[in-house]
Amino acid sequence: METLILALPIFLVALAAVFFVWKIKNREKEAIKREIQKEIMESGDRGELKVQSVLRSLEKRSSRYRVYHNIKLGPDPLHTNEYDTVVVGPNGIFHIETKNYGGERGGIIDIDSNDNWILHKKSGYSKLITNPGGQVDSHEYRLKGFLMKVVGVKNLPTQGIIVLSCDDITVRYNKKSRNEIPILNRHELLDYIKNYNKGNVLVYPKTIKKMCRSIEDMNRIARAN
């Protein structure tokens, strides 16, 4: 019994030391996770800025298009999605999802027959990445709801687009890939928008004005919530 009493302080000190080491390692892991998340966010921000620079010509006063970045839209302020970019024009409404896969160095994206995306980095490292098609489909659904319930119009031409902002990224498709959403390099985006529906006027100025006013109102209310 005496031996146990004498050993107890030693045991408690050892237990405290183990707990201290565990706590330190856990903090280090959390710090690494936060750093990785920060790098991902910064990489995404850089990618979005690249795409924004490409669309700058559509933001001129003389342009027939209106461009919105980082906005929230949906059938009501409590059910919205956040969009990287929305472009409203006479030939269509475009919602753009920007991805900076490959970062600054680039790489190759393989899309297999099941529409899985595999990123091969130049370092030789490969990993499965999330197919952004599901995100674009969700944006399409919310946008349709917004147009019908908020703006009060339907059957307008809408188009989701995935834009890869890295200039040194290559996409390879499996022949059986079912991907129906256009995947563009950022330098292809401007021509795609201007030539969509052969550039024909399908959305009239009065509707565009009403739509833009509703976009700005919805975004303001959604962010206030």
The 3 state secondary structure assigned to 70-102 is: EEEEEEECCEEEEEEEEEEECCEEEEEEEECCC
List, for residues 53-74, the tens digit of each pLDDT value: 999 999 998 999 999 999 999 9
Residue 193 is predicted with a pLDDT of 97
Q: Confirm whether 19 is domain-assigned.
A: no
pLDDT (mean) for 151-179: 89
Residue 46 is predicted with a pLDDT of 75
> Between 94 and 103, whose confidence is greater?
94
Number of domains making up the chain: 1
Q: Confirm whether 33 is domain-assigned.
A: no
Q: Confirm whether 171 is domain-assigned.
A: yes
Q: Which domain holds residue 218?
A: 38-224
Q: Confirm whether 5 is domain-assigned.
A: no
Residue 44 is predicted with a pLDDT of 46
Q: Confirm whether 46 is domain-assigned.
A: yes
Query: Vertex 82, ends 132 and 206: CA angle to 5°?
Result: 110
Percent of the chain with pLDDT over 70: 79
Residue 37 is predicted with a pLDDT of 47
